[in-house]
Structure 1
């Protein structure tokens, strides 16, 4: 999608902002639902990469599980969109940093008794 300078990129009804996370197979972007103003996380997966690594079944399984799981400690799936080259998984935005960093910080501050 080509956009004029200064104009925000849109995917469906979402205005896409900066990258807030990145992994091996996806980037996570900050986005805003233009209809409600609600902030969301948009997981962007490249279809070519998914097919090259034979990850399609795993991605479909992840999406199907997230559609049915409802728990306060699990990120909520809002919807899934697909374009020609990308899959967009729209998720609840969770702020406060990386979970891994919190686990490391807590485990480093723990003391364990000697045997």
Structure 2
């Protein structure tokens, strides 16, 4: 028997699809629309400890206003007592860094 899937708002969390120094990104499913999304999860304690509050606020405010086909779209931001959940467009194709390295573009 499988346990209940973890939910954040209307999103059912799935596997981890990315992990960085300050955040984890999980695949998620919108239970209302059926859309797949990526959710960037940040621990509030880590953000405060590393004095990243302004940086996170800036990232969110910029992503709210930018609409471009080459930039991942921000759907919404949710928060619990201990975490911030940034709900993003789910993009297939692997790691961006791998794509950049595989092209023959010289900077």
**What TM-score comes out, normalization by structure 1 length?**
0.88
Q: Residue 85 of structure 2 aligns with which residue? A: 88
Give the 3-state SS of the residue equivalent to 2:4 in structure 1.
Answer: coil
Give the 3-state SS of the residue equivalent to 1:42 in structure 2.
Answer: strand
Unaligned runs of 5+ in 2: none
Please list every run of at least 4 consecutive aligned residues from structure 1 whose deviation after the TM superposition is greater than 4 angstroms.
Answer: none
Q: What does 1:4-83 correspond to in 2, within 5 Å?
A: 6-83=3-80
Unaligned runs of 5+ in 1: 111-115
Q: Which has the larger radius of gyration?
A: 1
**What TM-score comes out, normalization by structure 2 length?**
0.94
Q: Supply the RMSD in Å over aligned alpha carbons.
A: 1.6
Give the 3-state SS of the residue equivalent to 1:94 in structure 2.
Answer: coil
Give the 3-state SS of the residue equivalent to 2:59 in structure 1.
Answer: helix
Task: Figure out how many residues of one structure are paired with residues of the other and give that number.
Answer: 106
